Structure 1
């Protein structure tokens, strides 16, 4: 006679019963904060564009205009090291007549980048350059020379905001958070500078450039375990 084997089935919870998991849960929150800062640097890009059927004459006229601009800016006074070439291009110009392309000459563009540690002087610099021969103003932007301290302050405030959010979630759910977060991830970057619209600057008699205020923003993702 063969022996009988008996197997005990694992007890199953009744239908509708609450099953508690022993694996800790996770609370994931984000935090964001901003810090206001006054810009302490202005960056201006402007220069001269000349056209002529002769390349040498277009270059000569451009060189003369740019030299006048540099001389006028350094006489403000402005340190020579604050002025640097941002772009230099020579382009062939064409027109289309009766479906045919016809060469008309050359365009020479020389752009200067001017860095100011006194943003309030930006308007004076633009006006001086335009009066001295600049016929294109590409951009004016205001920024921070050292954004890191402001960003670190915003980052600290963002982490604290995430901690407060996690605490609110835990109290609402009636759970206990782990003492330390499992993950803290930085989501943001140092902000872009404030651009100033420059399309009509060369035609303006007065250039009232106002730096305004920068908002340095940081955001983080924080993950806590709870039980």
Structure 2
């Protein structure tokens, strides 16, 4: 019954979409970095990488990063082959060991990277900035989207010379890439580089709605 009433309510409607966006200042940083290498000796490769990762962890702790903010992001070992004259020839192993390091603030990503590189890290997978005010920004974007839809509906109604209901009969939130994180990626970091600077910028949150207004 209620569904039928809602359908009848929306028989004479103006349908519009609304878009909204809001920004937030990043206050948290996630850095994924570690070591990647190849060797024909798997044992040697694992031992060497374990030493580097342990040294990186100790460097992070020395910088004040809590141990619970350091976790393994990736650990993989893959055999490597060359193809010569149509034949597969074993070359050795490739191993990747990455840590995910979460820190408060958005200004220390470069310092984290430099400290890790100094201990032998040679790979940065990504640097992502986030905000603890993300929910507030999402709500602002949604409010802006609803107001945008209302303004469009009023413009259409005025053009047609009809009156518009003060409250929409139906509102749905449309799928959208609500969060655009600021992300930096790099395949490797040359040893010896220092003074890395990464600017956080701002985070953008988007919202989109479809709104139906009854007109008469």
State whether TM-score is above 0.5: yes
Gaps of 5+ in 2: 1-9
In the TM superposition, residue 102 of structure 1 has moved relative to its aligned partner by: 1.0
Contact preservation (8 Å) 1:137, 1:202 = no
In the TM superposition, residue 24 of structure 1 has moved relative to its aligned partner by: 5.1
Please say if 1:64 is aligned against 2:51.
Answer: yes
For 1:77, the equivalent position in structure 2 comes to 64
For 1:17, the equivalent position in structure 2 comes to none
Residues 58-93 of structure 1 deviation map (CA, whole Å, 9 limit, x = unaligned): 111111111111111111121111110011001111
Alpha carbons of structure 1 residues 186 and 202: separation in structure 2 relative to 1, 3 Å = farther
94-103 or 60-69, which moves further after superposition? 94-103
Runs of 4+ with >3 A deviation = 199-204
For 1:186, the equivalent position in structure 2 comes to 173
In the TM superposition, residue 161 of structure 1 has moved relative to its aligned partner by: 1.5
Question: Matches of 1:213 and 1:71 in 2, distance apart?
Answer: 31
Contact preservation (8 Å) 2:125, 2:186 = yes
Contact preservation (8 Å) 2:180, 2:204 = no
For 1:13, the equivalent position in structure 2 comes to none
- Size of the aligned set, in residue pairs, is 205
For 2:184, the equivalent position in structure 1 comes to 196
**Among 210, 213, 219, the residue aligned to 2:208:** 219
In the TM superposition, residue 198 of structure 1 has moved relative to its aligned partner by: 2.5
**Among 55, 61, 73, the residue aligned to 2:42:** 55
Question: Matches of 1:95 and 1:62 in 2, distance apart?
Answer: 23
Residues 22-75 of structure 1 deviation map (CA, whole Å, 9 limit, x = unaligned): x95210111112112111111111111232212111111111111111111111
Alpha carbons of structure 1 residues 85 and 24: separation in structure 2 relative to 1, 3 Å = closer
For 1:3, the equivalent position in structure 2 comes to none
Q: CA RMSD in A?
A: 1.7
In the TM superposition, residue 190 of structure 1 has moved relative to its aligned partner by: 2.8
In the TM superposition, residue 130 of structure 1 has moved relative to its aligned partner by: 0.7
Question: Matches of 2:166 and 2:199 in 1, distance apart?
Answer: 47
In our comparison, the structure showing a higher alpha carbon Rg is: 1
Residues 1-227 of structure 1: pairs in structure 2 closer than 5 A: 25-187=12-174, 188-199=176-187, 201-202=189-190, 204-227=193-216
